[in-house]
Amino acid sequence: MQQPPLRLIASNHPTPKEPAGQDAVFEFIEEHDFDGVDMDWEFPVTQTDMDNFGLLLDRRVESINNNLDWINAMCYDYHGSWDVSATGTLAALYDPNGDVSTSDGLQSWIDAGIQPEKLIMGLPLYGRTWKLKNPAVHGIGAPAVGLGPGNDGAMLYSEVQTFNAKNKATVVFDKPTVSYYSFSGTSWIGYDDVDL
């Protein structure tokens, strides 16, 4: 489900006389004997969206634990084409300077009451690219002036590998975030590598 339907469902808070939108979704699943639903909201845009999505899931924690086999948590796209002023990790395991990381995200599900064994860590099979402002400044958070190579600042993992080989890119493993990035000239790519 994409916006606005999921936005409407999440914003429909239940009243005594009217079932919540999410209740209607679960009733529809049962009525038509579906195996489940993929609530893939990419991405809640406003703080209200985030709050409502949290409320939607909060009302379902007991139901999730009792009825869902698993939750596929998107543990990637922490930075990308929507944030072109600086390079960023695609899927940092840790964030030493904040709380935008896979470990923090998964812990928030657990803190909300979701059973850890139901969580599946989603991984990206692509990279996000930026054009560096200054090729000599190339770490995570380096100033950028726009998107780098690829389709809208994205490259498949195989394209990242080809780019790195063809351009003799410098590949860096960033220990604090447990993530990879590469750079060549003004091109910078954040990605996950099979060596993680």
- From the candidates 31, 42, 62, 117, give the one annotated as an active-site residue: 42
pLDDT at 100 over 50: yes
Helical (H) or strand (E) element with 156:
strand 154-156
Q: How far is residue 129's CA from residue 160's CA, in Å, rounded to a whole number?
A: 10
CA-based end-to-end distance of the chain: 32
* pLDDT of the residue at 195: 79
Q: Is 117 a catalytic residue?
A: no
Distance separating alpha carbons of residues 75 and 105, to the nearest angstrom? 7
pLDDT interval class at 141 (50, 70, 90): very high
| Residues whose CB falls within 8 Å of the CB of residue 128, separated by 6 or more in sequence, listed in order | 77, 79, 80, 81, 88, 90, 153, 154, 189, 190, 191
Given CATH 3.20.20.80, say whether it is the number of domain 5-122.
Answer: yes
Would the CA dihedral through 184, 130, 93, 2 be positive or negative?
A: negative
Per the CB < 8 A criterion, the answer to whether 126 and 63 are in contact is no
pLDDT at residue 162 is higher than 80: yes
Q: Which band of pLDDT confidence, cut at 50, 70 and 90, is reported for residue 16?
A: very low
Distance CA 142, CA 77 (A): 17
Peptide bond preceding 43: is omega within 30 degrees of 0, i.e. cis? yes
- CATH code for 126-191? 3.10.50.10
CB 36 within 8 A of CB 42: no
Predicted local distance difference test score (pLDDT) of residue 2: 46
Residue spans per domain, the chain: 5-122, 126-191
Q: What is the residue-averaged pLDDT of the chain?
A: 85
- Longest CA–CA span in the chain (Å) reads 65
Asked which of 7-16, 29-38, 63-72, 147-156 is least confident by mean pLDDT, the reply is: 7-16
- Tokens 């936005």 belong to residue: 7
Task: Please write down the HEC assignment for all residues of 83-101.
Answer: CCCECCCCCCCCCCCCCCC
Partners of 182 in beta bridges: 171, 189
SS3 27: helix
* pLDDT above 80 (res 44): no
Range scoring the smallest mean pLDDT among 55-59, 93-97, 144-148, 171-175: 55-59
Supply 171's token pair. 């590949």
On the question of a common fold for 5-122 and 126-191, the answer reads: no
Distance CA 32, CA 66 (A): 20
